[in-house]
Amino acid sequence: MHAILVTMGTDGDVFPYLALGAKLSARGHQITLVANQRYEASAIEHGFGFHTLISSNEEHQLFSNPDFWHPVRGPLLGARVGAPLIRRQCLLLTKLVGGRDTVFVASPGVFAAAIVRERFSVRMATVICQPWLIPSAIAPPAMPGGLSLPRWAPLPLRRLFFRLIDTLGGTLVGKQIGQARAFLGLKPVRGVFSWWYSPQRVIGLFPDWYAAPQADWPSQIRLTGFPLYDGRPKEDLPADLESFCSVGPRPVVFTFGTGMLHAAQTFQAALEACAKLGLRAVFLTRYHEQMPQRLSDNVRHVSFAPLRKLLPHCAAIVHHGGIGTVSQALAAGTPQLIMPLAWDQPDNAQRVKQLGAGDWLSRRRHTAPLITEALQRIMAPEIKGRCGEVARLFDDADPLAAAAVLIEGL
């Protein structure tokens, strides 16, 4: 089988595909990753073929704009930058389609994969890393920007809400999707957010205790569990960081996403909160310019550290709510304070709070006093105890092997 893995985004969006590719490769299959240009080295390191879906300049155009992390302006910006790329991406994927052994393993956000699948009858598994991407009138996900449906909303109103979301999606990207489809000889399509799923298989890379399947989910969805993969499975903690973690009280980790270039004020507020509480801390970001000018001896900055090895040494983690960070913290039994901005982050934040594994602050409350207060809440013994209970929900099953079997079944 030749599995063509198609995705784009930050580490949390791409690492699950690297993990799936590694598992499929170990099972004897040929792998090609089609993703952001900056993941080419990772693909080569894993022994995969690679093609660029979005260039580093195009990626920077998105992540360097603070609007990308706004709950309303973010999708508008994403559509403005991404929609014109659909036809080019269709041409790329068309060239990669081979014989009957070709299978697409694709993010729903890459519309070109769904178009090419339909045109050439390619077997495809849609992979969903975040349950937020599944519209459900029965159990609606939390929406950014205060657009979440109230709990009292009747079922017909909830269904209307998601039809309106579908209409909005068509308004933002429908023209470019239609043009790409017409170029390949396909008729227009209605309902972007129902059409983008593969009719053959949808794989949810999260467990049912995190997001329970609903009667109005697409019937072809199968859940396998969190992949718990951070891109560098053999890498240990840097020696100086491991030493720092071991010489005093457990530190708190602060990280706000691998695509976040605008967290300087938040790191400064975090520094002030740690000083107020007398906490030791690890500031985790690859963007050095976001660091406060002066860090105390109780704070360390590192560009990268594998969370699966860092979190067991830490008292808590404060982060943006990306699904990769959420799952690693749940598995480690580490209390979480989530500071969501946009996209799936508010939904993940609510799910963590419902599990009793932490709390969250709205985007307007990312201040030092409120971070201080929230840290005291999540570091209480009862939260730590509940985090341990959630960590025990992870079993010995191999979610990636289960996903690989589902893909092979195509």
Pair 105, 201: CB distance under 8 Å: no
245-254 pLDDT per residue, tens: 999 999 999 9
Tell me the helix, strand and coil percentages in the chain, rounded to 5.
50, 15, 40
Length of the chain measured in residues: 410
Q: In what order do the strands lie in the sheet with 299-302?
A: 299-302, 281-284, 252-255, 316-319, 336-338, 358-360
The sign of the dihedral angle between the CA atoms of 62, 351, 105, 399 is: positive
Question: Between β-strands 252-255 and 281-284, what pairing exists: parallel, antiparallel or unpaired?
Answer: parallel
- CA dist 352 and 209 (Å) reads 11
pLDDT one-digit tens code per residue, 345-366: 999 999 999 999 999 999 888 8
Model pLDDT for residues 114-168, shown as the tens digit of each residue? 999 999 999 999 999 999 999 999 999 998 877 788 878 899 999 999 888 888 8
- Overall average pLDDT of the 394-406 stretch: 96
Instruction: State how far the Cα of 394 lies from the Cα of 381, in Å rounded to an integer.
Output: 21
Average pLDDT score over the chain: 94
Q: How far apart are CA 366 and CA 347, in angstroms?
A: 17
Largest CA distance in the chain: 65
pLDDT of 98: 84
Please determine, for residue 233, whether its predicted confidence score (pLDDT) is greater than 80: no
**Helix residue ranges, H only, 219-359:** 239-246, 264-277, 307-310, 323-332, 345-355
- The string of DSSP letters for 183-218 reads HTT----S-HHHHTS-SSEEEE-S-TTTS---TTS-
| Tokens 């036809």 sit on residue | 87
Q: Could you tell me the domains of the chain?
A: 2-226+397-408 (3.40.50.2000), 239-391 (3.40.50.2000)
